[in-house]
Amino acid sequence: MIFTIILIAVLVIALGVFAVVVFRKLPQLKVLDPSSSREAKVKELKQNILRNRLTRVTAGRVTTLSTTMGAPLRIMQTLVRGAAAKLTALERSYSDRQKSGKTKLAGTEIHSILEETRSLVNAEKYEEAEKRLIELISLDPKNAAAYEVLGRLYILTKNYTNARETFMFVLKLSPKDASVHASLGEIAELEGDLKKAFEYFGKAKDLNPNNPKYLDFYIEAAIANEDYYEAEQAVAKLTEVNPQNQKIPLFTERIKDGKKTK
């Protein structure tokens, strides 16, 4: 009993020290209103990504701390040092570039980093890809492509909260980018919000009405929402722009069946 009380006390101290380290590095951000500057919103998103990344990285270590019965103080010290190291790594990268006078990236360098991160994602090296993307964003905070790749990475790793936050920010940078609306539709669909998914896919379709992929997404969402009129209109458009699409007869049959049971 006494050992359990001591262990609980150690855990409380550990979490307290961890909180001090983290929040000294990540100052609280005020809630931004719609009139806030884009630069402030960029900073907010970057800080949120870093904060969430730290949470994920240290979560496993907190679990270890609570389940390991031996040497709790040593584990506590490792936890705190590790959190600080993860957080300062990106700061150091940016600081080094400042000292060298290279705080902006050339177009070719940006392209190279994006290709590298896409390769890392394809190889399922998600943590490494995320780190590279955050480094890129810290140097080029208005690079919509970097945010978009980061958002896709979060979808792949089922981190839908971060994915949605990232794509919502890309939407501020590129409000008429159909692929961003489609990605938000995917996230809504994965979270079970079929109505919201239908809205986003509809926006993607309106922005790029001849894109078979967006028409496909929209038809699926329309059928899921039992809006068979919209589904039929979209199938007609899909037939016009991509008559060889093998899903057209399947869509037509599903719409017919849906009308019978509605």
Domain ranges of the chain: 1-103, 104-175, 201-262
251 contact partners, CB below 8 Å, separation of at least 6 = 219, 223, 231, 235, 238
- What is the rounded distance in angstroms from the CA atom of residue 117 to the CA atom of residue 113? 6
pLDDT at 3: 47
Q: Is the pTM of this model over 0.75?
A: no
The closest of 197, 133, 191 to 166, measured between CA atoms, is 133
Residue 138 CB neighbour total at 10 angstroms? 19
pLDDT at 44: 62
pLDDT at 91: 47
Indicate whether 79 pLDDT > 80: no
How would residue 13 be classed by pLDDT, with cut points 50, 70 and 90? low
How would residue 80 be classed by pLDDT, with cut points 50, 70 and 90? very low
11 contact partners, CB below 8 Å, separation of at least 6 = 65, 66, 72
What are the helix (H) ranges across the chain? 2-25, 38-67, 72-100, 107-122, 126-139, 144-156, 160-173, 178-190, 194-207, 212-224, 228-241, 248-261
CATH of the domain spanning 104-175, picked from 3.40.50.10470, 3.40.50.150, 3.90.550.10, 1.25.40.10: 1.25.40.10
Say which residue, 24 or 49, is predicted with more confidence: 49
How would residue 142 be classed by pLDDT, with cut points 50, 70 and 90? confident
The closest of 49, 52, 65 to 12, measured between CA atoms, is 65
CA atoms within 13 A on the CB side of 112: 5
pLDDT at 78: 41
Indicate whether 217 pLDDT > 60: yes
What does pLDDT average to over the chain?
75
pLDDT at 237: 97
CA 43 to chain centre: 16
How would residue 54 be classed by pLDDT, with cut points 50, 70 and 90? low
How would residue 112 be classed by pLDDT, with cut points 50, 70 and 90? confident
Angle at CA of residue 216, ends 213 and 219, nearest 5°: 150
Predicted confidence (pLDDT) per residue in 159-193, tens digit:
999 999 999 999 998 999 999 999 999 999 999 99
Lowest mean pLDDT among 8-17, 101-110, 115-124, 251-260: 8-17
User: Given the structure tokens 């570039």, which residue do they identify?
Assistant: 97
Decide: residue 183, CB within 10 A, 0-12 exposed, 13-18 middle, 19+ buried.
buried
Question: Which DSSP letter does residue 33 get?
Answer: P
Q: pLDDT > 70: what percent of the chain?
A: 59
Predicted confidence (pLDDT) per residue in 191-209, tens digit:
999 999 999 999 999 999 9
How would residue 139 be classed by pLDDT, with cut points 50, 70 and 90? confident
Say which residue, 92 or 187, is predicted with more confidence: 187
How would residue 150 be classed by pLDDT, with cut points 50, 70 and 90? very high
Mean pLDDT, residues 39-67 taken together: 53
Q: How far is CA 73 from CA 4, 78, 92, 147, 258, in A?
A: 14, 9, 28, 39, 62
